[in-house]
Amino acid sequence: MKISQNNDLDFLHVYLISDFKHHQVEPITKQLEKALQGGVRALQLREKDLSPKELLAQALEIKPVIKKYDAKLFINDRADIAEIAGADGVHLTETSIPAGEIKDKFPNLFVGVSTHAKEGALLAEAEGADFITFSPIYETPSKIHFGPPQGPEKLGEIIKSVHLPVLALGGIKLNRVPEVLEQGAHGVAVISGIWDSKDIKQKAYEYMHHFRGVTS
């Protein structure tokens, strides 16, 4: 099995994306802590229905839990909120402010970029992104507007075309992790695969298990 070796970004092996709006059975800090107990070390706070004020409040609410586990917090698309909240990074879309501009103004932030084609991946790399996600790999409701699944082979093509870590996103169920790692993915970005589980801690552990012995 091929696994990307980039020890500086090992925390991205399982990149968990928030979906707190649809998972309100218990407080978000409690849900998050279960994932962190399972080994997850990176969370992207992506709650597009929240106002900037509400997003900042939520970031500040979860930051102590993130810090407790020495994990990394990313804010979707808002570098200003990431900076104010003391987050570790920002995650951009292909229509966001260019990664290079964010790097210039917020040099302490990690910058990730969502991509859906080779052109976007190459552009993100040229602009100085630290990593990219590539999607959708498999069928998933959250990425249906980006077109049909591109499959692991296309993921492999993208990975070979850039020199930065690529995370597979879109329908990455637990049983599909080996397939994307075989293509050389640095890690996987996950939403429902973990949050929909009745045992978040255990499911997070099972995802992380694919990387045991790889992390530094």
Owning domain of residue 44:
7-209
Residue 215 lies in a domain: no
Residue 129 lies in a domain: yes
Per-residue pLDDT averaged across 198-203, rounded? Answer: 97
The answer, yes or no, to whether residue 63 has pLDDT greater than 50, is: yes
Count of residues for the chain?
A: 216
- Round to whole Å and give the CA distance between 79 and 112: 11
What is the residue-wise DSSP string for 90-152?
A: EEE-TTSS-HHHHHHH-TTSEEEEEESSHHHHHHHHHTT-SEEEE--SS--GGGGGG-S--HH
Per-residue pLDDT averaged across 23-46, rounded? Answer: 94
Which of 81, 90, 13 lies closest to 50, judged by CA?
Answer: 81
Number of domains in the chain: 1
Residue 214 lies in a domain: no
pLDDT at site 144 = 59
Per-residue pLDDT averaged across 66-92, rounded? Answer: 98
pLDDT digits (tens, 9 = 90+) for 115-129: 999 999 999 999 999
- Round to whole Å and give the CA distance between 11 and 39: 10
Residue 122 lies in a domain: yes
Residue 124 lies in a domain: yes
pLDDT at site 145 = 63
Residue 55 lies in a domain: yes
Q: Say which CATH number the domain at 192 has.
A: 3.20.20.70
Tokens 């255990």 correspond to 202
Residue 2 lies in a domain: no
- Round to whole Å and give the CA distance between 85 and 181: 33
pLDDT digits (tens, 9 = 90+) for 4-29: 456 689 999 999 999 988 777 789 99
Residue 30 lies in a domain: yes
pLDDT digits (tens, 9 = 90+) for 150-159: 999 999 999 9
